[in-house]
Structure 1
Amino acid sequence: MALLPESSSAWRFVRNSLTLARKEWISLLRDGFMLGFVIYSFSLSVYSQATGISHELRNAAIAIVDEDRSALSQRLISSFHGPEFQTPTLIGHAEVDPGMAAARYTFVLDIPPDFQSDALAGRSPTAQLLIDATAMMQAGIGAGTIQGILDDEVGRFVRHEAPAAAAPISLQVRVAYNEALETAWFTGTMSVVGNITMLAVLLAGAALIREREHGTLEHLLVMPVRPAEIMTAKVLANGAVILALTIFSLFAVLRGLLGVPLAGSVPLFLAGTALYLFFATALGIFLGTVARSMPQLGLLFILIVLPMNMLSGGFTPLESEPDWLQLAMQLSPSTHFVAFAQAILFRGAGFDVVWPRFAATAGIGALFFVWSLARFRSHLASLR
């Protein structure tokens, strides 16, 4: 016995929605540019973002002015090596300014005379570090790295030459969830999460505008289908495309090319993503009813979707935002989506941990879906 009799309204709703979804897939396959853009966004774009943006110090150019010419200064020179630094270049004072002006050196360390003797006598010698802060992130990270190298090497040298009392505290650091401190693991994963939002909105909004521009939306109005079936078909079709490309990106790009260890349950993450896509695609359809052309959709996307994506916690911690903005962003499903995506993929959280985020995503998404459907019905009525 069939669960839904073929004559029932529920069966007709499912059948019409699936038929219209098939039409959406055919339309997308015929749109070569949009199809290529979506595939690129979940493949080469993710890989390039993960490997092109690094928060680690890599191959930095450093020069050293050695005025001390002591065993300690030689030890310091030999402590700068790859992969963080290039082989240090020994220069004189006259070469410092021209070298930095020509961007040959990011860092120049000046070791003053009597540096070793002052260190052994406990007089706290001072070395000068000049930094080209054009590349601000590399400059900031490099300054801390060089400070750490100097403290460590000078401390070892002094303890070896003149043993002192043991340090009053010993700090043991253990890194969790990203033991290798690989930036690519974070940026690659968050690139996939961010692209899910952006591409779901763009695909759904572009599909509606494309139908209106081609005149096919008016054809649907004379067919025995309801606005709810049309919108549901667009949500299912575009959501399924994004979900399929998310699976491809997780396994082929993140795990395959970047070697990212996906700590948690991928099916659990995909289930949460499917919940979130009801909101994201509904938002795209809502914007498609407001915009009259693709350029207008692009402007609305910049004004609404980009800030929503940037403030959701995927780029900077939510705690670093003002209190009022943190509270406001709790009303956005994108915030909850980013939170449970990080919890599952990075920290291996189970459903018992992320279910409140799932519930918030489903609840807010359902409310917005109903609001978007009302707007979509009004939009179709204006076309009659």
Structure 2
Amino acid sequence: MVVIDQDFEKRLMAGMPAKLQIIADGRNSNTAGTAQSYVNTIAADFTTRWRAENGPEANSGVKVTTRAWYNPSLETRWYMIPSLIGTITMMMTLMLTAMSVAREREAGTFDQLLVTPFRPSEIMVGKALPSMLVGLSQSTTILLVAQLWFQIPFTGSYFILYLGLVLFLSAAVGIGLFISSLAANMQQAMIYSFVLLMPFMLLSGLTAPIGNMPDILQYFTLINPLRYAISITHQVYLEDAGISQLLPEMLALVAIAAITLPFSAWLFRNRLT
């Protein structure tokens, strides 16, 4: 987007600095970099022509000054550390949830669940809530480390951040319970978890922008809850985003949880009976 001040020509004719703002979305680094290169070339050509028309003594022209929003110093930790809030939390939550029922089978206590007065859905809730609490505690620890140790300023709302984390953990728990219902022992649960964690992390936007990925991989990222968790964390932590701005990500997490949790409950119920 190009923003030109209304007095641009007037200030330029008077030999005064004139402002021209170019806003590029840095989340798509290739497109933003290409657009910035075009703008720099156009600005240099304009300045050359202006000074040729007005003489070498003309001091005015267009000078390009680049400034990054939300990370003015371009420090990598400002991007990576908030991303770890969702990444590390998902690793722990998925592993704990996936091994919850598998641990019962391997320990030989799985049959005892059959004679309890609890329904399968209640057993699932009992397996899911501790993992969610551990995930929230872990995300809080990483959040404190980011602010107190790495001195990354938090600009958003804690309520919105934790609302997004709860939705994210609900989706992650649904996937973990699905794995747990399929695995016969803890080794299988661990292998299944690692098989899912690797593509989840690679297709989350943590190491490479999603817009730079091939189109077919971008479609696969739509079912990745970690993608939305990292997006929510970045926008709340660095950009002070509100619920209206985060609504697409939150609705996507609700949709993933609404599919994985009932399906895991159905699978868990059939494995019990």
Tell whether the structures are fold-level matches, with TM greater than 0.5.
Answer: yes
Which of residues 218, 224, 246 is equivalent to 1:354? Answer: 246
**Which of 239, 244, 252 is the aligned partner of 2:132?**
239
Deviation of 1:370 after TM superposition, in Å, equals: 0.7
Amino acid in the other structure paired with 2:87: G
2:6 matched residue in structure 1? none
Aligned counterparts of 1:301 and 1:166: Cα–Cα separation in 2 = 63
Which residue type is aligned with residue 229 of structure 2?
Answer: F
Partner of residue 119, structure 1: none
Q: Per-residue CA shift, 1:214-260, capped at 9, x if unaligned?
A: 22222121010011001111111210111122112212x11111111
Instruction: Please identify which structure carries the higher helix content.
Output: 2
Q: How many residues align?
A: 218
- Aligned partner of 2:4 in structure 1 is none
> Is 1:182 equivalent to 2:36 in the alignment?
no
Partner of 1:366: 258
1:273 matched to 2:165: yes
CA deviations 1:80-135 (Å, max 9, x no partner) are xxxxxxxxxxxxxxxxxxxxxxxxxxxxxxxxxxxxxxxxxxxxxxxxxxxxxxxx
One-letter amino acid of the counterpart of residue 140, structure 2: I
Is 1:336 the counterpart of 2:228? The answer is: yes
Deviation at 1:305, TM superposition (A): 2.1
1:229 to 105, 111, 122: 122
**Who is 1:210 aligned against?**
103
Q: Bigger CA drift: 360-369 or 292-301?
A: 292-301
Offset from partner CA, 1:43-74 (integer Å, 9 cap, x none):
xxxxxxxxxxxxxxxxxxxxxxxxxxxxxxxx
Quick one: distance in 2 between partners of 1:220 and 1:290?
16
Q: Distance in 1 between matches of 2:59 and 2:189?
A: 65
Q: 1:196·1:242 contact (CA, 8 Å) conserved in 2?
A: yes
Give the partner amino acid of 1:316. Answer: A
Task: Pick the aligned partner of 2:113 from 216, 220, 245.
Answer: 220
Is 1:305 the counterpart of 2:197? The answer is yes
1:191 is matched with 84
Distance in 2 between the 1:340 and 1:261 partners? 16
Deviations 1:152-185 (A, max 9, x none): xxxxxxxxxxx99869641111121112222122
Corresponding residue SS for 1:346: helix
8 A contact 1:333–1:365 mirrored in 2: no
Say yes or no: does 1:282 pair with 2:194.
no
Give structure 2 stretches of 5+ with no counterpart: 1-55
Cα deviation per residue 1:193-234 (whole Å; 9 max; x = unaligned)?
111211111011122221221222221210100110011111
CA distance in 2, matches of 1:238, 1:200: 5
Structure 1: how far apart are the matches of 2:226 and 2:138? 19
3-state DSSP class of the match of 2:207?
Answer: coil
Tell me, which stretches of 5 or more residues in structure 1 are unaligned? 1-162
| TM-score when normalising by structure 2 | 0.74
- Larger RCO: Structure 1 or Structure 2 (Cα < 8 Å, ≥ 6 residues apart)? 2
In the TM superposition, what whole-angstrom CA distance separates every residue of 1:8-66 from its partner, at most 9, and x where no partner exists?
xxxxxxxxxxxxxxxxxxxxxxxxxxxxxxxxxxxxxxxxxxxxxxxxxxxxxxxxxxx
> Does residue 237 of structure 2 align to residue 345 of structure 1?
yes
Q: Percent identity?
A: 29
Q: Tell me the C-alpha RMSD between the 2 structures.
A: 2.0
1:164–1:281 CA distance, 2 compared to 1 (3 A):
same
1-structure distance, mates of 2:221, 2:213: 10
